[in-house]
Chain A
Amino acid sequence: MKAPTLAVVVLCWLTGVADALPTPAFKAGLFNPARLAPDFSLQGSNGHALEMSQFRGKVVLLSFGYSSCTAVCPVTLATLAQARRQLGPAAADVQVVYITVDPERDVPARLQAFLHAFDSTFIGGTGTPAQLAGVRKDYGISAQRITVGDSYSYSHSSFTYLIDRGGRIRALMPYGHSSEDYAHDLTILLKE
């Protein structure tokens, strides 16, 4: 190692100086630039067609899971419902969309019952395995089926996308964040 290089390293180490960037204002992870959320056409839990583009003008929270999930999904959906309550009337412009990774069991009626236990405004999406695989690919979602005795479960991506009024994927909230964190970021997006 050359002496000047070593000196720079030691100096940076002593001062703790590195490349300066501002601290993000969001609690979620931000994409830059934001990309348009890929559109899809699925079967909605409300009996109607479900397309991402139909929610333009609203802020969308997009999550993936399955109704038999006992660990991640109930926590996420309860958190999203709580965040909507914290927003008060502004929550009318927030739409939660939950797409199943388990079309075999998650028929629309079952999805509807599952989601409405958390919030009656939540909309689920299901479709053929090929349709859902395509949506997962477009959104970078992993879902792996795991056999458990006579039944099965899924290991799946647990984060939630935050999509702005213009239909752009702005942020990704990892699993485990509080409803306050969601409300914080939603408030920013709703004001735009």
Chain B
Amino acid sequence: MSRARSLVLLTLAASASAALAWGGFAPIHSLSRHEVFEIPKGTWARRMSGDKVEILPDHIQLTLGVRDILLLRNQDVVPQIFGPTLMMPGQSFELPFERAAEYQFACTAHASGQMTITVDPYPANPWARIRWRVRELLNELKEI
């Protein structure tokens, strides 16, 4: 193996180790603890025209101390059943969670009639932090 190739591999290994170390040990801090879902204006009209509009997933994953407040907003012009509750036009609903658990809500907006919110414990150990960061990155990339 050439010296240059060894140097590249060594650099890559060091970088990966540094990234893993950062991912596992750097504290997780988020300025917002909100997981936001919105019913956009025109949703009711789209549903009336036969368009199947799914806004709120039937499973939501939250993390204590990092993202543990569900924030729902109805931006449409008519009242909507959104998650566990009825929301008026322009109204928001902010639901905090303080315990790691799985929460079931009756939700007529879903075919199953149920919505599940899983609240994970705070990612206190390195592997949990790495998993959380990877999941966050994938979620961010999905939204683009």
Contact = CB atoms under 8 A, between A and B. Distances in A.
Contacts of B128: none
A174 B93 CA distance: 13
Contacts of A174: 84, 95, 103, 105
A9 B144 contact: yes
Given A140-B81, A144-B113, A23 B140 contact: no
Contact of A29 (B34, B95, B141): B95
Contact of B85 (A18, A144, A172): A172
A176 interface: yes
Contacts, number: 96
Interface string B62-97: 000010011100000000010011111011111110
Contacts of A89: none
B34 A21 contact: yes
Contacts of A88: none
B6 interface: no
Interface in A4-34: 5-6, 9-10, 12-13, 15-21, 23-24, 26-33
Interface stretch (B10-18, B24-32, B43-51): B24-32
Given A13-B140, A156-B106, A18 B91 contact: no
Q: Give the interface size bracket for A toward B.
A: 35 or more
B131 to A, nearest CB: 14
Given A9-B141, A13-B133, A29 B96 contact: yes
B144 A18 contact: no
Contact of B91 (A6, A24, A33): A33
Interface string A27-52: 11111110100000000000000000
A159 interface: yes
A179 interface: no
A159 B90 CA distance: 22
B105 A13 contact: no
B21 to A, nearest CB: 14
Nearest to A28: B95
A65 to B, nearest CB: 12
Contacts of B31: 16-20
Given A17-B30, A140-B85, A157 B106 contact: yes
A90 B78 CA distance: 38
B123 to A, nearest CB: 11
11 contacts: A9-B140, A16-B66, A17-B32, A18-B31, A18-B34, A20-B32, A21-B71, A29-B94, A142-B106, A174-B95, A176-B101
Interface of A: 1, 5-6, 9-10, 12-13, 15-21, 23-24, 26-33, 35, 139-140, 142, 144, 155-159, 172, 174, 176
Interface of B: 28-34, 36, 66, 69-71, 81, 84-88, 90-96, 98, 101, 103, 105-106, 108, 113, 133, 136-137, 140-141, 144
Given A17-B31, A155-B113, A159-B105, 13 more contacts: A5-B144, A9-B137, A9-B141, A9-B144, A13-B137, A16-B66, A17-B30, A18-B30, A21-B71, A24-B94, A29-B94, A158-B106, A172-B95
